[in-house]
């Protein structure tokens, strides 16, 4: 980012903390960007002529006589079609060795959509994964996170979902990605032959943590450009939002704010909502769908980060290792897509809701049978059959390596019902049983 000749340069910093510095300056706008000792910084507090700046890279080695140059504008991203296929850092500067983007400057973290101008989401996004499409169908304009423990393959699943999903643009916002994961995404995207529809904003663990705070806004500003200006269907991937929230707590701590639950800032809910609520179905056909990752610590969803996230997002997807089949599955009990009602049985086959519910109910019966078994009680014939069903169901439908069309998922469901149960035990409306129960 270039500096301009007429800009006034300040050289007298009065206070330096780990993340901020203060100086005397006048005529400065709130949230304005500046360079401090060549590092990007943003105004976070102005009292009289005392201006406090948050330095994204940290303050290590910043001298009191460092050059401070104010840029006269909040953080911006240059948007144009040139963004496609490129990799950027948290400031929107290319990191793939390619040329600088030419385009219109847009302020990041822009205004909200007027709720009366939103359209009700109604378009199904198939992913091929039955644990998602069958049980927790995704809809354009939805926002949904994976709740996963750090050892689970959420980045792989998300990359898979992204590439299979029918989207015009896929925008990755990577926060605190390990270099290995970054290279994984890069490799998958480069080899997918769809690079022109992928854009990445990446902050790795090698970059300063506070920089992460810019990543979601950068990714979503690009998303709004394609969804609003170009009426495209945009899928935004944000990984890992827990690391984003951790960065928020670092900053609020350095600003001497009183922490609330789990040492998170009191504004965590609003901060997360501002990001997730950018998911929207626009009236002119464009949409922004957000799939995020929130890593949990030991599966604890009462921690402030997953808890606040759950209140904001439209459901959540849980990954779990099923030891019976040795695969990772999408947990049908704890996962939920709040918007699925808008598409299942409407955009998909009419028997979809019933097949989904019946299979989950039988899977729940299997879980009860398992508890009985573990407690040493005798199993009935029905219990045995549910256990066998559960194994098949896990393997053929819930496992994340499944990649089939929704109709095939439904067929698989009917075949499993037929293999293990009588129609009366499945409890599906008679008209569907007549039509779909396998005849043999």
Partner 1 sequence: MEKINKMTKGKVAGIIANLVFVEVDGPVQQNEICYIDLEGTKLMAEIIKIVGTQAYVQVFESTRGLRINNTVDFTGHMLEITLGPGILSKNYDGLQNDLDKMDGVFLKRGEHTNPLEDDKKWEFKPIAKPGDVLEAGGWLGEVKENWMPHKIMVPFKFEGKYTVKSVTDAGEYTIQDTIAVVTDENGKDINLTMIQKWPAKLAVKAYKEKPRPFKLLETGVRVIDTLNPIAEGGTGFIPGPFGTGKTVLQHALSKQAEADMIIVAACGERANEVVEIFAEFPELDDPRTGRKLMERTTIIANTSNMPVAAREASVYTAMTLAEYYRAMGLKILLLADSTSRWAQALREMSNRMEELPGQDAFPMDLPAIISNFYSRAGFTYLNNGESGSITFIGTVSPAGGNLKEPVTESTKKAARCFYALSQQRADSKRYPAIDPLESYSKYAEYPELEEYFRENIDPEWPEKIRLARNILIRSREVSEQINILGDDGVPVEYHDRFWKGEVVDFVILQQDAFDKTDCSTPLERQKYMLNKVLDIYHTKFSFESFEDVGSYFKRIINQMKQMNYSEYESDEFKNNEKELNSLIEERKIA
Q: Give residues in contact with partner 1 (CB under 8 A).
A: 26-32, 44-49, 74, 107, 109-121, 141-142, 228, 257-261, 266-267, 269-270, 273-274, 277-278, 280, 282-283, 302-304, 307-308, 310-312, 314-315, 333, 336, 339, 341, 377
With respect to partner 1, which residue has the nearer C-beta, 28 or 350?
28
Q: Which C-beta is closer to partner 1: that of 194 or that of 312? A: 312
Residue 17, φ and ψ in degrees, nearest 5: -115, -170
Which residue's CB is nearer to partner 1, number 81 or number 284? Answer: 284
Task: Find the shortest distance in angstroms from Cβ 72 to partner 1.
Answer: 10
Q: How far is CA 185 from the centre of its chain?
A: 15
User: Minimal distance in Å, beta carbon 265 to partner 1?
Assistant: 8
Task: Give the dihedral sign, CA 326/327/333/334.
Answer: positive
Q: How far is the CB of 266 from partner 1 (least distance, A)?
A: 5
Contact indicator for 117, 92 with CB cutoff of 8 Å: no
Nearer to partner 1 among residue 108 and residue 400 (C-beta): 108
Cβ at position 113, least distance to partner 1 in Å = 6
Task: State which residue, 208 or 259, has the beta carbon closest to partner 1.
Answer: 259
- The pair of three-digit structure tokens given for residue 31, joined into one six-digit string: 């949230």
Tell me which H or E stretch contains 68. Answer: strand 68-70
Between 268-276 and 241-254, two packed helices, what is the crossing angle to 10 degrees? 140
Give 66's contacts (C-beta < 8 A, 6+ positions apart): 11, 13, 21, 36, 37
Question: Cis link prior to 240 (omega < 30° from 0)?
Answer: yes
Give the shortest CB-430-to-partner 1 separation in angstroms.
13
Shortest Cβ distance from residue 222 to partner 1 (Å)? Answer: 16
DSSP assignment of 237-299 equals: EEE-HHHHHHHHHHHHHHTTPPP-GGG--TTHHHHHHHHHTT-EE-TTS-EEEEEEEEE-STT
User: In this complex, which beta carbon is closest to partner 1, that of residue 84 or of residue 231?
Assistant: 231
Q: Which is nearer to partner 1, 142 or 348 (CB)?
A: 142
CA atoms of 35 and 279, how far apart (whole Å): 32
Residue 121: CB minimum distance to partner 1, A:
6
Find the shortest distance in angstroms from Cβ 411 to partner 1. Answer: 25
336-337 and 315-322 strand pairing: antiparallel
End-to-end Cα, the chain, rounded Å? 70
Nearest CB to partner 1, comparing residues 70 and 189: 70
Is-contact 328 320, C-beta < 8 A? yes
């Amino acid at each position: 980012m270039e500096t301009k000749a007429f800009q006034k340069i300040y050289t007298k910093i009065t206070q330096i903390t780990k993340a901020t510095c203060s100086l005397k300056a006048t005529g400065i706008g709130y949230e304005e960007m500046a360079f401090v000792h060549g590092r990007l910084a943003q105004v976070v507090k102005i009292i009289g002529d005392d201006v406090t700046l948050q330095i994204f890279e940290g303050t290590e080695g910043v001298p009191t006589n460092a050059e401070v140059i104010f840029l006269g504008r909040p953080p911006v991203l240059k948007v144009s079609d040139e963004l496609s296929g490129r990799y950027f850092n948290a400031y929107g500067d290319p990191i793939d060795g390619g040329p600088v983007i030419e385009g219109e400057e847009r302020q990041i973290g822009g205004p909200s959509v007027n709720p009366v101008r939103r359209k009700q989401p109604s378009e199904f996004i198939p992913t091929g994964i039955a644990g998602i499409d069958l049980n927790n169908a995704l809809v354009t304009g939805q926002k949904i996170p994976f709740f996963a423990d750090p050892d689970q393959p959420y980045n792989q699943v998300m990359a898979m979902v992204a590439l299979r999903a029918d989207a015009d643009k896929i925008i990755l916002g990577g926060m605190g990605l390990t270099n290995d994961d970054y290279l994984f995404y890069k490799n998958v995207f480069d080899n997918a032959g769809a690079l022109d529809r992928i854009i990445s904003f990446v902050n790795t663990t090698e970059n300063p943590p506070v920089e992460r705070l810019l990543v979601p806004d950068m990714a979503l500003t690009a998303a709004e450009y394609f969804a609003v200006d170009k009426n495209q269907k945009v899928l935004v991937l944000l990984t890992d939002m827990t690391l984003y929230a951790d960065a928020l707590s670092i900053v609020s701590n350095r600003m001497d704010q009183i922490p609330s639950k789990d040492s998170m800032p009191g504004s965590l809910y609003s901060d997360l909502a501002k990001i997730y609520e950018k998911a929207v179905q626009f009236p002119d056909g464009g949409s922004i769908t957000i799939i995020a990752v929130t890593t949990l610590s030991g599966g604890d969803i009462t921690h402030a980060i997953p808890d606040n996230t759950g209140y904001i997002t439209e459901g959540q997807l849980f990954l779990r290792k099923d030891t019976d089949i040795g695969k990772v599955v999408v947990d049908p009990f704890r996962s939920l897509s709040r918007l699925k009602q808008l598409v299942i049985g409407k955009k998909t086959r009419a028997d979809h809701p019933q097949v989904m519910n019946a299979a989950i109910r039988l899977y729940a019966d299997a879980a009860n049978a398992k508890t009985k078994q573990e407690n040493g009680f005798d199993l009935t014939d029905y219990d045995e059959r549910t256990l066998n069903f559960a194994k098949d169901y896990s393997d053929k439908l819930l496992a994340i390596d499944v990649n089939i069309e929704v109709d095939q998922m439904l067929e698989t469901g009917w075949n499993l019902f037929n293999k293990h149960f009588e129609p009366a035990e499945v409890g599906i409306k008679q008209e569907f049983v007549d039509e779909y129960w396998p005849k043999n």
